[in-house]
Amino acid sequence: MRIRERPEISVEMSAVVSCPALLIAAPSSGSGKTSLVAALARWHTRRGRRVKVFKCGPDFLDPQIHAMASGQPCDNLDLWICGEDDIRARLARTARDNDLILVEGVMGMFDGQPSSADIAERFGLPVVAVIDARAMAQTFGAVALGLANFRPGLPFHGVFANRTGGERHTESARDALPIGIAWRGALAGNEAATLPSRHLGLLPAAEIDDLLARIDLLADALDTTPLAKLPPAVRFAAPDAAPSPQRLAGKKIAIARAAAFCFIYPANLELLAALGAESLFFSPLAGDSLPACDAVWLPGGYPELHAERLAARHDLAQQLTAHIEAGQPLLAECGGMMPLFESLADLDGRSHPMLGLLPGRTVMGKRLAALGSQRIELPEGVLRGHAFHHSRCQTDWPVLAQAERIDGSPGESVWRKRRLTASYFHFYFPSNPEAVAALFDPAFRHSERNVHEHNSEIRNRGPRWRWPRRSRIAHAQGGAPDPLRGRAGL
């Protein structure tokens, strides 16, 4: 059967627009990137500037913090998942309507395939490295020197010291900088401004009651730093692309949105609207009934923290069962999938009865069970996304399809029951609008025979794609592979 891949997009460029832009990176996770980006966004918005923040990588939690700080949704930038044209279009559109673009990096500056440095270099974004200086003095200069010179051609804009211990400590870090590396300021450690976290990362923004007050504390401290000045303007040109046909015009999609279902890419909602769909939000935790709709989307989140309340939703179980028995689409991702099985075992080992739409159970674990970017071939088409979870699924329900990781190894399973599609896989909808339209379109039909043929194709062939051998070798040797020429990642 024919599998629809990411549609080809014209490479013709539209008019060039300019906007001050800056990417905040770091030597490692935990250095303070999120706090600094949020504080900088808040500092400028308080002065009447319109600020748009982006987050490198497939993150759900940091963008919620940035949305609160900037007053705008925070989109994700990932060269492999999103594709270069998607990123280029978003940056250019943002540059037309905003006074400042801020981008938070992911992990360490050069970590991952692709990395924050890849994004900065590809789109000409000036980079400031925030370095956690609390356990060093003159070594701050050595770390800065390595970051600035590791990759020639990277638009390096300077360094920022985080969690300094006082004026003398700050001076020792600044004075250690080699000539040619710009000092962008420092922030002293401040426990009152620390952002709380748990097993998947920072707490969701909605769960931090004094979040804005914490961000304001950090923003106040930026007043006298060079970082507070607007960065250089960057020129952006968007690829010309035809608008997506409104394949879901007139369709109503019920979307769960609550503390247990809070992992939603803003770009996914944007695409559903572009396809003509109307989004109807409801909260299973608040007792909301399933709205009258044509399709349902249960995004990821933290069902394990709200298992007792979900277990009591017998009415919702009946409504969702009636929905899929009527042949209507339901997409359940990761935490949105977990309540659909018969039971859920939480981190304390307690088992909770769930909604029971699928046989089996999910079990929370103390250690990470899966992490990374993946692609999945469904009867509707090929989609990209990622997985990040601590639980495991135990079920004998037949697998519809198996995702593939970037290196070609097996990824997440996808289960299907009528039009119910369930997986730990988090879908990035703009990676294939046509496939997303088919997933949510009640009129889309695929025969059982085609599903069987699709499963056989996945089982019988080896990985269709992987990073080019030259890029894998370059990465292993510490070089900078460029796997994204032409269509990103292929």
pLDDT tens digits, 298-336: 999 999 999 999 999 999 999 999 999 999 999 999 999
What confidence score (pLDDT) does residue 389 get? 85
* Pair of tokens at residue 454: 């699709």
Q: Which of 341, 331, 195, 346 is nearest to 261 (CA)?
A: 331
274: its two tokens: 């572009």
Q: How far separated are the first and last CA of the chain, in Å rounded?
A: 21
Confidence at residue 44, expressed as pLDDT on a 0 to 100 scale: 98
In terms of phi and psi (left: phi > 0; alpha: psi -120 to 50; beta: otherwise), the region of 446 is beta
* DSSP code for 263: B
pTM of the model: 0.87
H or E element in which residue 233 lies: strand 233-239
pLDDT greater at residue 38 or residue 482: 38
The rounded distance, in Å, linking the Cα atoms of 100 and 412 is 38
Q: What percent of the chain has pLDDT over 70?
A: 87
| pLDDT value at residue 71 | 97
User: Is residue 191 very low, low, confident or very high in pLDDT (cuts 50, 70, 90)?
Assistant: confident
Section 52-72 average pLDDT:
95
Q: Residue 252 pLDDT > 70, yes or no?
A: yes
Q: Which pLDDT score is estimated for 12? A: 54
How confident is the model over 256-297, as pLDDT tens digits?
Answer: 999 999 999 999 999 999 999 999 999 999 999 999 999 999
Task: From 432, 430, 440, 341, select the one nearest 381 (Cα to Cα).
Answer: 432
CA 276 to chain centre: 23
> Could you report the per-residue pLDDT of 378-431, keeping only the tens digit for each?
999 999 999 998 899 999 999 999 999 999 999 999 999 999 999 999 999 999
Mean pLDDT of 206-217: 92
CB 102 within 8 A of CB 52: yes
Q: Please give the residue that has the higher pLDDT: either 401 or 471.
A: 401
- Strands 370-378 and 399-405, bridge-based pairing: antiparallel
What 3-state class would DSSP assign to 159? strand
69 pLDDT tier (thresholds 50, 70, 90): very high
| Sheet-wide strand order for 361-364 | 351-353, 343-345, 361-364, 391-394
Is residue 77 classed exposed, middle or buried when 0-12, 13-18 and 19+ CB atoms within 10 A define those classes?
buried
Which entry of 19, 74, 82, 334 is annotated as an active-site residue? 334
Q: Quote the pLDDT of residue 2.
A: 33
| Average pLDDT estimate for 352-378 | 91
- Could you tell me how many residues make up the chain? 490
Where do the domains of the chain lie, and which CATH numbers do they carry? 18-238 (3.40.50.300), 252-469 (3.40.50.880)
127 pLDDT higher than 70? yes
CA angle 219, 127, 27 (to 5 degrees): 85
The pLDDT confidence band at residue 14, using thresholds 50, 70 and 90, is low
Distance CA 488, CA 85 (A): 8
- CB of 16 closer than 8 Å to CB of 81: no
Q: Using CA atoms, how far apart are residues 419 and 331, in angstroms rounded to an integer?
A: 8
Which of 201-210, 340-349, 439-448 is predicted with the least confidence, judged by mean pLDDT? 439-448
Average per-residue pLDDT for the chain: 88
Instruction: Answer whether residue 222 shows pLDDT above 80.
Output: yes
CA atoms within 13 A on the CB side of 410: 11
Is the model more confident about 199 or about 72?
A: 72
How many angstroms separate the CA atoms of 308 and 15, rounded?
Answer: 54
Interval 345-359 mean pLDDT: 95
Cα angle 355-360-364, degrees, rounded to a multiple of 5:
85
The answer on pLDDT for 4 being more than 90 is no
**How many CA atoms within 13 Å lie on the side-chain side of 3?**
17
pLDDT higher than threshold 70 for residue 456: no
Q: How confident is the model at residue 448 (pLDDT cuts 50, 70, 90)?
A: very low
pLDDT(7) > 50: no
pLDDT of residue 446: 65
When comparing pLDDT for 222 and 367, which is higher? 222
pLDDT of 297 reads 98
What is the DSSP-derived secondary structure letter of residue 270? H
Does 262 participate in catalysis according to the annotation? no
Band of the pLDDT at 91, cuts 50, 70, 90? very high
* Res 449 pLDDT > 60: no
Mean pLDDT across 422-451: 86
Tell me: pLDDT of 237 over 50.
yes
